[in-house]
């Protein structure tokens, strides 16, 4: 939705500038209109980034947790349970493994009364495993994603380094997917 609004603003700007050129409004008026449109587009873009992007406070909370889990995996390999990992910034609670045969474990941790989930899962491939760590806050629809890969020589390395993401898709954030 925000993309369509941005395209509309740009089209309106171009149309206005063309009409002003045809009507010979003068360079000063055209420049003022152009700068005005750029300011409006900039403010709208800032609003969309703040509204639709990941919640910065949640990213700040979740990143150290994901880093600690990935550091443990890089040094010690895949844990039996995330609850076994020592020295986490936030205590994990209610750790549960999936019962459907997949290699997935969910844990939760609370920060200031806000519940965050942490999911650790791995998929086997030719070399061993791709490990995924996802930390997510359902209320703010913000998460941090990390991928760790086991290389052919058996060493774990971080592939995707703590990428924040947002799953907001309503209102201005709606991508209009079918």
* pTM, two decimal places: 0.67
Q: Measuring CA to CA, which residue among 1, 2, 32, 34 is closest to residue 15?
A: 34
Residues 44 and 110 in one domain: no
Q: Name the residue range of residue 11's domain.
A: 2-52
The residue-averaged pLDDT of 148-160 equals 76
The verdict on residue 171 lying in a domain is no
Over range 147-157, report the average pLDDT.
77
Confidence check: pLDDT of 160 > 80: no
Percent residues over pLDDT 70 in the chain: 91
- Is residue 63 a part of any domain in this protein? yes
Q: What pLDDT, on a 0 to 100 scale, did the predictor assign at position 129?
A: 66
**Mean pLDDT score of the chain:** 80
Q: Quote the distance between the C-alpha of residue 10 and its chain's center.
A: 27
Predicted confidence at residue 145, as pLDDT, reads 85
Is 9 in the same domain as 68? Answer: no
Contact 119, 143 (CB under 8 A): no
> Is 106 found in the same domain as 133?
yes
pLDDT, one tens digit per residue, over 37-82 is 889 888 888 888 778 878 888 888 888 888 888 888 888 877 888 8
Q: Are residues 65 and 24 in the same domain?
A: no
Residue 101 within a domain: yes
DSSP code, position 173:
G
Residue 48 domain flag: yes
What secondary structure does DSSP assign to 45-91, as a single string?
Answer: HHHHHHHHS--HHHHHHHHHHHHHHHHHHHHH-S-S-GGG--S-SS-
For residue 160, give the H/E element and its range: strand 156-166
Residue 1 pLDDT grade (very low, low, confident, very high; cuts 50, 70, 90):
low
Mean pLDDT of 14-19: 82
Indicate the number of domains in the chain: 2
pLDDT of amino acid 177: 45
82-100 average pLDDT score? 83
Residue 138 falls within a domain, yes or no?
A: yes
On whether both 127 and 106 belong to a single domain, the answer is yes
| Measured distance CA(128)–CA(149) in Å, rounded | 8
Q: What is the pLDDT of residue 120?
A: 81
What pLDDT does residue 29 have?
A: 85
């Amino acid at each position: 939705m925000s993309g369509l609004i941005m395209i509309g603003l740009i089209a309106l700007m171009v149309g206005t500038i063309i009409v002003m050129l045809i009507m010979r409004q003068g360079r000063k008026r055209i420049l003022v209109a152009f700068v005005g449109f750029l300011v409006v587009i900039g403010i709208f873009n800032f609003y969309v980034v703040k509204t639709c992007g990941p919640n910065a406070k949640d990213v700040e909370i979740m990143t150290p947790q994901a880093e600690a889990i990935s550091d443990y995996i890089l040094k010690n390999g895949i844990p039996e349970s995330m609850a076994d990992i020592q020295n986490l910034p936030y205590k994990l609670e209610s750790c549960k493994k999936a019962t459907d045969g997949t290699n997935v474990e969910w844990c939760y941790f609370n920060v200031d009364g806000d519940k965050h989930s942490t999911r650790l899962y791995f998929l086997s491939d030719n070399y061993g495993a791709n490990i995924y760590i996802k930390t997510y806050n359902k209320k703010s629809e913000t998460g941090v994603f990390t991928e760790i890969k086991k290389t052919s020589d058996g060493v774990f390395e971080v592939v995707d380094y703590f990428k924040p993401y947002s799953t907001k898709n309503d209102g201005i954030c709606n991508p209009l997917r079918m």
